[in-house]
Structure formats: structure tokens, C-alpha cells
Amino acid sequence: MKNNPNIMFELANEPIHILGTDGTYGSGTQGHFDNLKTYFQAIVDTIRASADNILWIPGLGYQSQYSGYALNPIEGDNIGYAVHVYPGWFNSGNGYEPFQRGWNEQVQPVADFAPIMVTEMDWAPEKYESSWGKDITGTAGGEGFGANFKKITDECGNVSWLLFTSPDLLADFTGIAPAAGEEYSFLNDPEACPWPIYQWFKDYKQEYNLEGASTDYLSLTDLIVENGEALSVMTSSSTSLTVSAVFADGHTENISSLAEYSIDKPEIIQVLRGRIHALKDGEASIVISYTGPGGNKMQATVQVNASTFPLTNEVFNPDIWEDGSFDETSGTLITGQYGFGGWYYSNGVDLSNYKYLVVKLGNTNACGFSFRLYDENSYWTTPGVYDVGNEDQVVVSLNDMYKDGTTTKMDPSHIYYVGFWSSGGCPLIIDDVYLTNDENYAKPTGIDDLFPVDSESEFVDVYTITGARIRLQVKRLQATKGLKEGIYIVGRKKVVVVGNN
């Protein structure tokens, strides 16, 4: 089989855990991927000593996790990555946006530099019991799994995929729709995978086979940017730029990965195979050009705003932990119970060029909201915590952050999660979140800014001057009882403790 151009090797089936560089078993950290790379690189090198067949490399977590390969990829030629996708994976089954986010976090970083082959994928209503994936085709950009899977992979621009189902079922497939009044079966129900895939493959064939095509079929009449003429993209991430070509006979084609892109500020954004990559905060303009198969050329222009903390439905994720909601128009976040919503940066975002992160709020919260930042790529690590309380502004000194309840300083050069935690069910209006070097945001340090404990009955947290939380939600009147002499932060105020208190 070696050196046969029609034979490819997938190196393993659904790895789950690997021993990481830190000595723990798992699949979520860069250390796990670094060891996985070492493992598969040895196999690749052995094969390459005598064979040049195409090799497909699996990821972790039953072939659902790949982000670590973006930082430490397999080396060599004819290398791609083999992915498995079923309803429920990559946040799928909850509509388009969560599915797209899951794909962007785990697969897109690899698709940006290497081919992807989805070697297992199927779906069907549960009643047929003929598929691993229990879901429906649905509609592209809406509910359901199948149509969203196709939309995401088409727009990714570097993905091939296979239908995964029993050979006997495929042998029985006829491509004939049921007669009027006849009941659907797994093989002809539009909500199960065989029928829509059959139609989609016919569309693919027509798109790439232009022999005998009419003049109207080849004549380009318009370019439509489905995302709109103004886009917001989160810095250090990417988003799809969906461009459709309209032809004289009325049909449209997704040409996102085929168009040419001219950018006026390439230091802010780049476009690769139809995806916008935001490199730094700022605004830029993209001129999209495409020459149709009939030879005529058209252009469209898109304005892009790259922001580290965009408050848009497309980017702000209210479901990082538990199901929440976010209204872009009003800036209103409601988390699930003990939930967390905000922004996730799969490769980490560097905030070290700024001194302060400022949060502007539009209402008084009633669910114990806190603003949190994580410098490790896991939601279950210890974040820096800034209680919102009754304040309308939270200022984070980025060079003076500590993990909650510890004296461990945080590193602002690689922040993975930023957002808001609450006990759930209450609205928080977020007016703005931004970075600045304006020294007006520096916290006062003079003796005039030290306050005695007042007699308010509100509950407060108590921190040491180094940022370690030592008391949680105690009455303000009793906040410093028994503490040693020194300076503390009580309910966001500096307090001097002297003598017996």
C-alpha cells in the first residue's frame, strides 16, 4: 500500500487522554498536545522513511480537540488532521452560533494551516435508530445539526468530509423521493443525513463541472457579503467572511475561499481562505474582488472593527458556563445559575501593553456579579476576581492582578477568559469594556485615601493589600474584627487597622 496515491492513513481512532508534560492525564492543556505531537511525530517519521502516503492526524477528546496543534503542529509533507463531528460535539445541537464557536475554538486554528478531513459524521432523528448522531438536518445558520455542519465546513474552506453510516444502508439508497402519502424512512427523510448529503454532493459536482454550462450560469452579476458591510471581530480570534457570487441565471455560490482580498491596514487584520483574523485593536477596510467563470469581475467593500472586548451577539458568549443570554442592543447579560459569560481567547490574548482594563456598567446588580479574568486555558482554574457590588465601574490594574484568595500574581500576557460571573437570573447592563494607559484610572495610594470602617450593614469581601481575599461576604461592621494591624481592602476601600479593633 505504501506510496499509493489513492491510499491514506489515519493514524489512530479517537484518542482520549494522554500524559501531559506536567505529569497529569487529560486533554485540555498545551502540555498534553505537546506530548501528543511527540507521540505521533515518531510514527510520522517512521512512515516517511519509506512512504509518502497522505497522513491524517487525530486530536484528543475522541478527535474533538485540536487547538494545541496550532502552536505545535506535526511536521512533514502530505499532513492533514482527522476530525470527528457528531450532534452534541463542539456545542452543536444548540443552534448555529454555539456550534460555530466550538468549531472556531478547536478545529479552525488547525484548518488555518493544514487540510481537515472529517472522517466520521452523521445525524438523523432518534426514531430511526440508524445513526450515531441524534439530531435533524435543520437550517443553515439556524437550528439543527446537518445544515449548520455544511455551512461551517464550507465557510472554513479547507475541509473535506465523509458520510459515516452502515454500508448496507448506503447500498439500499436510491435517491428517489417518497411518493405522495408515503412515510419517510432514514434513507429519504430530509431531516436524516443520506438524502440532504446526496443533494449537496450533486450541488458540489455542478459547481465544479462547468462543461456545457449556459452563458447565464457563468455570468457574474453581483457579490453579496452575507455578514454585512460592517463587521466586529474579537482581537486574537477569527471569524468567517461569507461572500456569495450571484449569477445571471439566479443561482449563487459561496466564493469566500476563492476571492481576492485587499486590506488597507494589514497590521490590524488579515484574511486567509475567507476568514478574518484580527491581530490588534483598530479599524480596517477590505476590498473583495472575484472574477467569475465567464470572465467578468466584481468588487465589494467591508469595514472591520477589531476589538478585544466586542459587545456583539456574534462574539460575546453568555454560555461559557451554564446557559445565559445577551442582548447586543441593550448590552444586557443574564447568566445561568452560577454561570459565566464573556469572551474566550483560545490562543490567549496579550494585554500586557496596557495598564488598566475598565468596565462601565449601566445598572446596580442584584445577583452578586463579579468580573473575572483567567490566565490559564481552563475555566476550572483560579481567576482574578473583582466584585461588582454597587459600583458602576470596575478598574483592573493589569500589572497588579492576583488569583482569587492567593498571593499568586497573574500574567496579563496570556489571558484566556474574561467575563462576568453571577448566581444567575438577574440582568447586568454592560455599557463598555476597554483597555487604556490613562493614569487617571490609577488607584489612589495616599494616606488621604484611607477610610475607616463605616457602619453600613452591607456585606463585603476583605482583601490583604497584596490582593489575597481573606474574608468572603461578611458584614462591613465586623469586617476587620481580629485582624492584625495593617492596610486592608474592605468593600473596595482601603482601611487602616490599628490597635485593638
CA atoms within 13 A on the CB side of 202: 7
> pTM of the predicted model, to two decimals?
0.59
Residue written as grid cell 458591510: 229
pLDDT at 39: 94
Residue 385, beta-bridge partner list: 372
pLDDT value of residue 346: 73
Per-residue pLDDT of 330-352, as tens digits, reads: 999 999 999 999 998 877 888 99
Q: Does the residue 4 lie in any domain?
A: no
Answer yes or no: are the C-beta atoms of 210 and 218 closer than 8 Å.
Answer: yes
For the chain, residues with pLDDT lower than 70 are: 28, 273-274, 443-458, 465-468, 499-501
**193 shares a domain with 231:** no
Statement to judge: residues 384 and 284 lie in one domain: no
Cα–Cα nearest to 70, from 33, 32, 15: 33
Q: Are residues 65 and 197 in the same domain?
A: yes
Q: Is the domain of 179 the same as that of 327?
A: no
State the total domains in the chain: 4
Note whether 115 and 200 are same-domain residues: yes
161 and 204 fall within a common domain: yes
Same-domain pairing of 459 and 437: no
Does residue 144 share a domain with residue 39? yes
**Whole-number pLDDT of residue 21:** 75
Q: Are 65 and 28 contacting, i.e. CB atoms less than 8 angstroms apart?
A: yes
Provide the pairing of β-strand 370-374 with 415-422.
antiparallel
Q: Which domain holds residue 188?
A: 9-208
489 found inside a domain:
yes
Do 38 and 167 belong to one domain? Answer: yes
Cell numbers representing residue 493 in the block:
476601600
- Kindly state whether residue 2 falls inside one of the protein's structural domains: no
Please report which helix (H) or strand (E) contains residue 327, including its range.
Answer: strand 325-327
What pLDDT shows up at residue 429?
Answer: 94
Integer angstrom CA distances of residue 210 from 155, 217, 276, 294, 295: 22, 9, 30, 10, 13
Task: Tell me the H-state helices in 112-262.
Answer: 146-156, 167-172, 194-208, 215-218
Q: What is the CATH number of the domain that holds 129?
A: 3.20.20.80
